[in-house]
A and B are shown apart, each in its own frame.
Chain A
Amino acid sequence: MPISPTHDSAAAVARQHDEHVLEAPPHTVQTLVACHECDELQYLSPLARCEVAHCIRCGATIAEGERWRPEPFAAFVLTTLIVFLIANAFPIVSLQVQGSETQTTLFGAVYTLYDQHQDFIALLVLATTIAFPMLELALMFGVLLTLRRFYATRWFRLSLRLIQAIRPWKMIEVFMIGVLVTLVKLWSIATIIPGVALWAFALLTFMLGGVAMFDPAQLWRRVPLADEAT
């Protein structure tokens, strides 16, 4: 779109606003929201793509405009899931010292901890780097796939709640930095050969960042309210 030098920003905002109102279904023109951090009640107008609304009192992010449409996002989640499987199927690094070689996958690391009777730590690593990320991706894909038909079912609501509950507990990006620290730590004592999974994890870190930009509130808006009588 060509931008003229005498671009009137107020007019542009007004025109944009008209477009919102035309695009938005009538019942979502203004919604009442409560800030999740300070509980201030406020009215929210529909947001444009990538637009972010902040609380008028404490400044918390209270709503985000749609960054992803469900269909391309479903494809992206599936791709991320595949990269995730690759990252877990292959060794992260191999270590060579005087002719002997050791290598490990992420699950191998978990198993070694379990083998050394560090059950709690083994479980913690398993949950934050394998179980939770995989569960979230799988559930997210399932939810997006069944969006059109099953948004009113209990399964849909439970999955969405589970996705939100898991979110803060997955730590792939922390793990990625952990891999780098480990590499430098072992650099001086052995020859290190990066494995396929190292690159997969690096890619996965960024892809999960993209997945995290999807706001589940966008899906909650589609879920109908239960009958008050029941």
Chain B
Amino acid sequence: MTGCHVCGLVQRVTPGQAATCPRCEARVHMRKPDSLSRSWALLLAAYVLYIPANLLPMMVTSTIFGVQQDTIMSGVVLFWTSGSWMLAVIVFTASILVPLLKLFAMTYLLLTVGRRSAAEPESRTRLYRIVELIGRWSMLDVFVVALVVALVQIRSLATITAGAGTTAFGAVVVLTLLASRCFDSRLIWDHARQENSHD
């Protein structure tokens, strides 16, 4: 017996057999298909892209004095040195801390589920909930770039264009969001349950 992941209807499902929910017509699985390998694939891709996302410029400012390239970190430093500490903290949290936290948290979850760990299922479920909750906030920097680029087009004075870093960064956000979608938190509890039934 399991609940349909779309409409929640509880129904009898034969493991490993495709079934269709009689209420919403979605395909019903006991667990999300290939949850671990799909999550791993997306997560590894996110790790790889995390490097150019931080090294390549997010914004390229061209003025009569020359060209300046800004990465995520240099943007944070600029806020910090110019006195906007609040914003430095917000941008640092959303663009650097949250993506890193998500990558590490997902790695930890995938490793423990892969090892069939039965330890602390509750706190791991809580960790997964946090990952789901904060994931979207790393899009913040992408929106800031989009707006700044559209606004600062002052002919002859300064133009700002989006750098290649934005594409990498946006891809990291999408990939980590997809990775946490593909992960099935019920797997955490499957092993916990087996452990308990052996006792």
Contacts and interface: CB of A to CB of B under 8 A. Distances in A.
Interface of A: 31-41, 57-60, 92-93, 95, 97-98, 100, 102-104, 108-110, 112-113, 116, 118, 120-121, 124-125, 128-129, 154, 157, 160-161, 164, 168-169, 171, 174-175, 177-179, 181-182, 184-186, 188, 217, 220, 223-226, 228
A38 B185 contact: yes
A223 B7 contact: yes
Given A121-B162, A220-B8, A112 B153 contact: yes
B23 to A, nearest CB: 5
Nearest to B2: A34
B51 interface: no
A148 B54 CA distance: 52
Contact of A120 (B137, B157, B171): B171
Interface stretch (B37-45, B101-109, B140-148): B140-148
B151 A220 contact: no
Nearest to A181: B144
A118 B24 contact: no
A181 B87 contact: yes
B8 A217 contact: yes
Contacts of A60: 125, 129
A38 B87 CA distance: 38
Contacts of A110: 146
Contact of B22 (A92, A116, A228): A228
Contact of B10 (A32, A177, A185, A186): A32
A220 B142 contact: no
B139 to A, nearest CB: 5
B25 interface: yes
A100 B3 contact: no
B149 A223 contact: no
B133 to A, nearest CB: 10
B153 A102 contact: yes
Contacts of B132: 168
A124 B24 contact: no
A109 B189 contact: no
A226 B9 CA distance: 12
Given A41-B10, A168-B136, A179 B125 contact: no
Which 3 A-B residue pairings sit nearest by Cβ, starting from the closest?
Answer: A178-B143, A34-B3, A109-B150
A188 B83 CA distance: 11
Nearest to B147: A182
25 contacts: A33-B10, A36-B8, A37-B128, A37-B186, A39-B190, A58-B125, A97-B157, A100-B155, A102-B151, A110-B146, A113-B162, A118-B166, A120-B170, A121-B162, A121-B167, A125-B143, A128-B139, A160-B24, A161-B6, A168-B132, A168-B136, A178-B139, A181-B91, A225-B9, A226-B22
B147 A109 contact: yes
Contacts of A32: 1, 10
A213 B100 CA distance: 29
B189 A125 contact: no
Given A121-B162, A171-B139, A220-B9, A177 B125 contact: no
B64 interface: no
Contacts of A41: 1, 10
B174 interface: yes
B186 A38 contact: yes
A224 B137 CA distance: 38
Contacts of B121: 38, 58
A33 B142 contact: no
A37 B187 CA distance: 9
